[in-house]
Amino acid sequence: MAKSQYQVIIIGAGHAGCEAAIASAKIGAKTALITTDLSKVATTPCNPSIGGPGKGNLVREVGALGGIMATITDQSAIQIKILNSGKGKAVQAYRAQLDKTLYNQNMLALLKSTEGLDLIEAQVAEIVSRDNQITGVRLVGGQSILTESVVITAGTFLNGEIVIGDRVVRKGGRIDEDSVYSLSDSIKRLGVLSGRLKTGTPPRIARDSIDYDQMELSPGSDAAISFCYPNHQILPLSMQEPCYLTYTNHQTHQVIMDNLKQSPVFSGMINQRSPRSCPSLDKKVANFPDKSRHPIFIEPEGRPDGVDGERMYIQGASLAFPEEIQEQIIKTIPGLENARFIRHGYAVVYDYFLPSQLDKTLMVRNQSGLYLAGQLIGTTGYEEAAALGLMAGINASLKVLGKPRFVLERDQAYIGVLISDLISKVHVEPYRMFTSRAEYRLSLRNDNADLRLAKLGYRLGLQPKSYLSQVNHRRQMIDQAIELLRTSSVKYQGHPTTGYQLLRMPKTTLAQTLEILGIRSEVIDPSIYDTVESEIKYSGYLDKQEQIIEKQRRQAEIKLGSGMDYTKIKSLRNEAVERLREVMPETIADAMNIQGITPADLEVLTFSVRKCRVSLY
């Protein structure tokens, strides 16, 4: 039987798979992307939007490194807004509503145009490994393809089941697509531990069946917003599609409580954990009985004249009740009394693999060349998937090309926080990124993602020199602006004061500072206003953070390694030994982030490694 040869094979063409495939090919590895249906690459089966607190930061970082989600989002957005605009820059984020068909089409076009990338429509049945080294894959039908590295990004499709009410309505990873069976068993045979998780999606209703007069308008932002470029307006407000806000009420809650036993979440039909940050509507009502209403956002899946123009997404109303009860619930909500259902809500239960088995490159520790990314390792959301897929694709290609691995640490990027959390914490539900998870979020802002990561993207071969030159020019303008404020002074409230000191005052903006100094506003490019303000206002905190980061860098120099035998450290608690053996941290700094490891454990570990290194292996 004929065999093909690729250096890297990507399995699955969701958001993680597309990022992995394009990154691998651009870095220089001969790459194949295998998926069952090329027409459905990078679909948005749940909420047709990208971004949000924490998530938007991930997208900005993906774009700065040379990934593709930021670009495709900018190209496909039908509404875009700044979230948390009244709060500090460290927690502000972008969110874009998408034309979901356009997003899919733009992604497919980019995949087809990527040099060194082959697209294959097939289903993978088995991962082939010899002596713990990946050697190939076998397709359903028997064809074998040789490869040195495999990146699996199968999303919710491994042994996926669609649940509505008290029954599994079909085997599938999405309502309109089949499950993948043998691949999951193949991964398990390689010694990779698995579990089951649950996710869900709300109903879709017809645009013309909604009474918008009973709802609040939820528009986008008329501002310079772009996931690719800071302070660049991609979509004027006049070209944006509106969203709407309504609320549940006592009647909604009564229908839910009267039928609670018919919800698969409460009947025992589904026992798997779902994302706590995105609970089903029945869980919200049951868990918060004193809350009189819950917000429901009505969001378009495309422009009115587009392919998906008729479909409206009901954000906040994830349901898996029987269809007739779903309709009763939704029709109690103001504006939805005459809602016409295009598709009912449903839940998905699927296999995932415990991320603690991966190293910082997302490679399975006991299988050289096998990488896992996306929902397959217990995350939720397109943004987390894209970030993980990008990193897995980068490292799979670097490995086969004999180049050093690429790792981002917690102080460098939200992507570093994401991977660190996944491999070092105990997870009982799908992981979602929040700004609160990043201890260095003052440094990891939306506005400076390119300043932090563009050089790394260029070195990898994912960013052109023109992009790096543009970012370097922006850095130069920012430094010049800060120096101008340091050296410009004025008498303010009876005291000599520099512009730098003025801007550090609470609620003082850069525009106000320039006016007080008598400097024309156009002297500083408006595109850098946000970053200049942030770097000056947060300067004291940033200096303290840098001291902490430097301490952790020194701790990162104390290597532990994969051969460490923690049972030989007699003063280490049993729980600490168990967690260290499970995660196998590479450095003392990594050990600090492991859930269950105390400061006392770290002190014992550091002392033992420094004094007794030879005897611990």
Evaluate if residue 324 carries a pLDDT over 60. yes
- Residue of 62, 514, 478, 517 lying closest to 231 (CA atoms): 478
Evaluate if residue 556 carries a pLDDT over 80. no
Q: Residue 555: pLDDT band by 50, 70, 90 thresholds?
A: confident
- Which has the higher per-residue pLDDT, 558 or 499? 499
* DSSP of 177-229: B--B-HHHHHHHHTT--EEEEEEEE--EEEGGG--GGGSEEE----S---SSS
Q: Residue 276: pLDDT band by 50, 70, 90 thresholds?
A: low
**Residue 411, C-beta contacts closer than 8 angstroms, at least 6 positions apart:** 440, 443, 545, 549, 552
Question: For 139-172, what is each residue's pLDDT tens digit?
Answer: 999 999 999 999 999 999 999 999 999 888 888 8
**pLDDT of amino acid 615:** 52
**Span 332-342, average pLDDT:** 98
**pLDDT of amino acid 614:** 44
**pLDDT of amino acid 613:** 53
Q: Residue 617: pLDDT band by 50, 70, 90 thresholds?
A: low
Q: How far apart are CA 336 and CA 243, in angstroms?
A: 14
**pLDDT of amino acid 192:** 97
Q: Indicate left, alpha or beta for 159 from its phi (over 0: left) and psi (-120 to 50: alpha).
A: left
- Which has the higher per-residue pLDDT, 471 or 556? 471
- Per-range mean pLDDT, top range of 11-15, 270-274, 425-429: 11-15
Question: For 505-553, what is each residue's pLDDT tens digit?
Answer: 988 999 999 999 999 988 999 899 999 999 999 998 888 888 888 887 8
- Residue of 231, 247, 292, 285 lying closest to 533 (CA atoms): 231
246 close to 333: Cβ distance less than 8 angstroms:
yes
Question: For 567-610, what is each residue's pLDDT tens digit?
Answer: 888 888 888 888 888 888 888 888 888 888 888 888 888 888 87
In the chain, what percentage of residues exceed pLDDT 70?
Answer: 97
Any idea how long the chain is? 617
**Span 373-398, average pLDDT:** 97
Dihedral angle computed from the Cα positions of residues 608, 609, 615 and 616, in that order, rounded to the nearest 10 degrees: 100
Q: Residue 60: pLDDT band by 50, 70, 90 thresholds?
A: very high
In the chain, what percentage of residues exceed pLDDT 90?
Answer: 74
Q: How far apart are CA 392 and CA 347, in angstroms?
A: 28
- Residue of 362, 473, 453, 379 lying closest to 411 (CA atoms): 453
Question: For 351-369, what is each residue's pLDDT tens digit?
Answer: 999 999 999 999 999 999 9
Evaluate if residue 554 carries a pLDDT over 50. yes
Question: For 400-416, what is each residue's pLDDT tens digit?
Answer: 999 999 999 999 999 99
**pLDDT of amino acid 612:** 65
Looking at every residue in the chain, the average pLDDT score rounds to 92
Element (H, E) at 467: helix 465-487
Strand runs (DSSP E) across 447-531, as ranges? Answer: 489-492, 495-498
Residue 17 three-state SS: helix
**Span 271-288, average pLDDT:** 81
**Span 89-113, average pLDDT:** 94
- Which has the higher per-residue pLDDT, 273 or 397? 397
